[in-house]
A and B are shown apart, each in its own frame.
Chain A
Amino acid sequence: MSTRIVEIRAKVMKQNDLLAHLLRERFKTSGVSVVGLVSSPGSGKTAFLEKLLSGLARDFRVAALVGDLATENDAARLKRATPNVRQITTGTICHLDAQMIEKALEGWQLDALDFLFIENVGNLVCPSSYDLGEELRFVLLSATEGEDKPLKYPTIFNSSDVAIITKMDMAEAAEFDVAAARRNIEDVRPGMQIFEVSAKTGSGMQDVFQFLRDQLAHSLETRPALQIETAQ
């Protein structure tokens, strides 16, 4: 039996990408700065996020979505910093996708927020394929992991916008070579901004706050004009 070829040319992620695009537009119009956090499990995403929320909550309206396979522990922990926290429990799924974000946002007034953080499931592989509509993606690497993590997971490091080296208070004890880590990040994602922080001591966090403030100011400047009917 003969066969014929039918052209399809369809992006596999198009459903997710389309939804992520719509979310990004919604975030922009609402004037909320949305930051995704990705890292391996145990690299300190939640501790970092806790510091971000409590540090920013003094001057800004902040919220967070946190993804995990199971338990609501992270949400409970983050609620100490702000009540605006929702847990996304993915079951067996190793990443968040745009649909999960859309669903988790139901009922939230986005224009009443300045910052929304989305903590992905701890995984350096799968989340790289899924756009969540975030404005920036932060990839975290802790001082207790190997300096060559960026080289081992180039896709996620390359698809991120900012690198955060966490647990810097433990760098010396772990004999972490921060210069090598920076070089490796630069190799996989030339020009990427890097911050060195410790959520425990608070060192380096001020620089991240300043970066986020600048980012928010920038996104508000470029915010699409609201369609308000003005009386003549």
Chain B
Amino acid sequence: MHELSIVLSIIDEIGDESEARGLHNVEVVHLKVGIFSGVDRGALLFAWELACEGTPLERSRLDIETVPLVIYCSVCRQNRTPPSLYRLCCPECKTPSETVVTGRELEVVSLEVAA
């Protein structure tokens, strides 16, 4: 489980941003997590609770948007959703694809801050 390390990076990042922009009272942290990022949503939420204790983010909530896996099919020349995470091929023409378009994201998108 490396989600605790990841959460600590997120908390650091938000700390830096909050200081730079003079933000207080962060209520919600919006995070984008690709389904192919190797990071587990449940473990992130669990780690969030633990890691935020005693920090300015103590009462904040982590909101996670899951980004699906999309590959590019060079035969159909289109972005496609593969049949599964372990079968990276075009669902239409079955051509294998090594081009991952989305699904690897791990990004802090925005913060909701008390006005």
Asked if residues B110 and A129 are in contact (CB atoms below 8 Å), the reply is: no
- A residues less than 8 Å from B45 (CB atoms): none
A92 to chain B, nearest CB (A): 10
Asked if residues A8 and B111 are in contact (CB atoms below 8 Å), the reply is: yes
Given the interface pairs A187-B87, A188-B86, the reply to whether A8 lies near B9 with Cβ below 8 Å is no
- B residues less than 8 Å from A57 (CB atoms): none
User: Would you call B70 an interface residue if the criterion is a C-beta within 8 Å of the partner chain's C-beta atoms?
Assistant: no
Q: Among A4, A8, A97, point to the contact of B108 (Cβ < 8 A).
A: A8
Q: Among A6, A12, A156, point to the contact of B10 (Cβ < 8 A).
A: A12
- Chain B interface mostly: mixed
- B residues less than 8 Å from A191 (CB atoms): 96, 98
Q: Which of A138-160 contact B (CB under 8 A)?
A: 150-152, 154-156, 158-159
With the chains together, A97 CA to B2 CA distance in Å?
Answer: 11
With the chains together, A95 CA to B106 CA distance in Å?
Answer: 17
User: Would you call B93 an interface residue if the criterion is a C-beta within 8 Å of the partner chain's C-beta atoms?
Assistant: no
Interface size band for A:
35 or more
10 residue pairs A–B, Cβ–Cβ below 8 Å:
A3-B114, A10-B108, A11-B106, A12-B31, A14-B13, A15-B9, A95-B5, A155-B85, A187-B88, A190-B96
User: Would you call A109 an interface residue if the criterion is a C-beta within 8 Å of the partner chain's C-beta atoms?
Assistant: no
Contact with A along B98-114 (1 / 0, CB 8 A): 10100000111111111
User: Would you call A46 an interface residue if the criterion is a C-beta within 8 Å of the partner chain's C-beta atoms?
Assistant: no
Binding site for A on B (CB under 8 A): 1-2, 5-6, 9-10, 12-14, 17, 21, 23, 27-28, 31, 36-39, 85-89, 96-98, 100, 106-115
Asked if residues B107 and A9 are in contact (CB atoms below 8 Å), the reply is: yes
With the chains together, A6 CA to B60 CA distance in Å?
Answer: 14
Contact with B along A165-202 (1 / 0, CB 8 A): 00000000000000000001011111100000000000
